[in-house]
Amino acid sequence: MSEVPGSPARRGPLIEADHVSKVFDVSAPWLNRIIERQPRLMLHAVSDVSFSIERGETLALVGESGCGKSTMARMMVGLYQPSSGAVRFDGVDLRTARGAPVMALRRRMQMIFQDPYASLNPRWRVSEIIAEPIRVHRLVNRPEDVRPRVEQLLQQVGLAAGDADKYPHQFSGGQRQRISIARALASEPEFLVCDEPTSALDVSIQAQVLNLMRALQRERGLTYLFISHNLAVVHHVSDRVGVMYLGSIVELAPKSRLFSAPRHPYTRMLLDAIPDISLSGRARTPVGGEVPNPLNPPAGCSFHPRCPLANARCHLERPVLRAAGMGTVAACHAVEEGRLD
């Protein structure tokens, strides 16, 4: 008998990105292009990205602003459709799924957005915000069962049951993000995409929210895709780390391996940018230069204008991800040729 996607008998990764790319048309309006004789402009936000996330695992994507992390996050939950490639959740291609299976998949994946001040409807009480997924997915049989469920979710994220009657503006930033987490958990998901969920919060509040998310993962067996540019946060929450640069993954490795023995020059520069609290005196190389214009990316390796190890091959040939030992894959000619000490 064939397996039903999403059944307990199924094994393998919960979610997979298979050679995913996303291109946005950012051209001027048609008439302007005709009058001013301008060509169409295509922005390659994500280029040929592949990875998978096992059940109960946390994969973090890091990189500078504009590298494609958030675009990738939105494709993983179906908010954006890939221009090419496929995103598969529990074996089901999100782009080709239709009808009732789509609603079932939507229930099993949710997203926590970066700004808790913008992601909550200011005109709704907290009870309405959290109850919406419960009602949409018909997770309770009787209307009178919704309120107890909302209060239970608030208590799970460290808020009081009475907070259900308040409005978002009556809470601090950290409390609002807890409300966002409660709303995401309301549909009883298996997979959460966390798009920089703590970047708008104070450092002390960040730690509280991160500890809450780790506790919820242990209790519920959740799978996370965690988007961040803060490597300290990534070190705290992740199992594996993917480093993105100008729309592509340049290194993917287990957390311990990436922080102790990074392979790609860009990863090394990112780690060198972390403040040296221990005052070790070790020589550090900051990330120099600027990210190239994604509308006109450089030929060959996209990092070569900023890379101290670039040679003629790097200017001409685009590297591909290759095994670099100890579970690491890296897209770098210097790593492949053994030029990296």
Compute the distance between CA of residue 178 and CA of residue 116 in angstroms, rounded to an integer.
9
State the chain's mean pLDDT as an integer: 89
Compute the distance between CA of residue 83 and CA of residue 212 in angstroms, rounded to an integer.
35
The pLDDT-based confidence of 98 (bands split at 50, 70, 90) is confident
Token representation of residue 76: 């993983």
pLDDT for 276 equals: 64
Q: Which strand (E) or helix (H) includes residue 265?
A: helix 265-272
The pLDDT-based confidence of 283 (bands split at 50, 70, 90) is low
- Residue 71: pLDDT over 50: yes
Compute the distance between CA of residue 319 and CA of residue 3 in angstroms, rounded to an integer.
38
pLDDT for 6 equals: 44
Angle at alpha carbon of residue 250, lines to 270 and 265, rounded to 5°: 45
Q: Which strand (E) or helix (H) includes residue 36?
A: helix 30-36
Map out the domains of the chain as residue ranges: 262-341
Token representation of residue 229: 């540019």
Question: How many other CB atoms sit within 10 Å of the CB of residue 165?
Answer: 10
Beta bridge partners of 49: 20
Task: List phi, psi (to 5°) of 72.
Answer: -65, -40
Predicted TM-score (pTM) of this structure: 0.89
Q: With 0-12 CB in 10 A as exposed, 13-18 as middle and 19+ as buried, what is 122?
A: exposed
